[in-house]
Amino acid sequence: MLFLVFQLDQDRYAIEAAQVVSVLNLVNPKAIPQAPAAVAGAFDYRGEPVPLIDLCQLALGRPARALLSTRVIVVNYPAGDGANRKLGLIAEQVLETVRREAAEFAPAGVDAAQAPYLGPVAADAQGLIQWVRIEQLLPDSVRELLFQAAVESA
């Protein structure tokens, strides 16, 4: 399996590349007033408005830094109605891909109930890398906020 790797502070994380639609330069999103802190806003992706989540804000409680390696990862997100929707993820240090077999990942040994998107880990020469489960990234309340209009119009 191919994974796209990014960092949250010094720790490495990976998203399954099959879920990635595109990797873009950092965008200037339209703000969504009263949205949860991790919702950075929305942006236009090929004529379609796409919600944008700041992974640093979601996981670390701070906004992503505008580094040269900070990117928007557009993924296919299972919105809960049986369809996939595009979701933008702001991530720092998006610099590489790695190949790993699913069997190389093992439970992290810590129950992260507040972060169910954090999956198993694998080790390499640079240390541990943790698999981020896109389908578990958003709490139900945020998923409904971002995708309810799309469900209602379908």
Residue 115: phi and psi, rounded to 5, are -135, 70
Average pLDDT over residues 3-32: 96
Strand partners, 84: 78
Q: Could you report the per-residue pLDDT of 42-52, keeping only the tens digit for each?
A: 999 999 999 99
Q: Could you report the per-residue pLDDT of 98-148, keeping only the tens digit for each?
A: 999 999 999 988 877 788 899 999 999 999 999 999 999 988 888 888 886
**Which H, E and C letters describe 58-106, residue by residue?**
HHHCCCCCCCCCCEEEEEEEECCCCCEEEEEEEEEEEEEEEECCHHHCE
Helix H or strand E encompassing 5: strand 2-8
Tokens 């595009």 belong to which residue? 86
| pLDDT score at 79 | 75
Strand partners, 96: 5
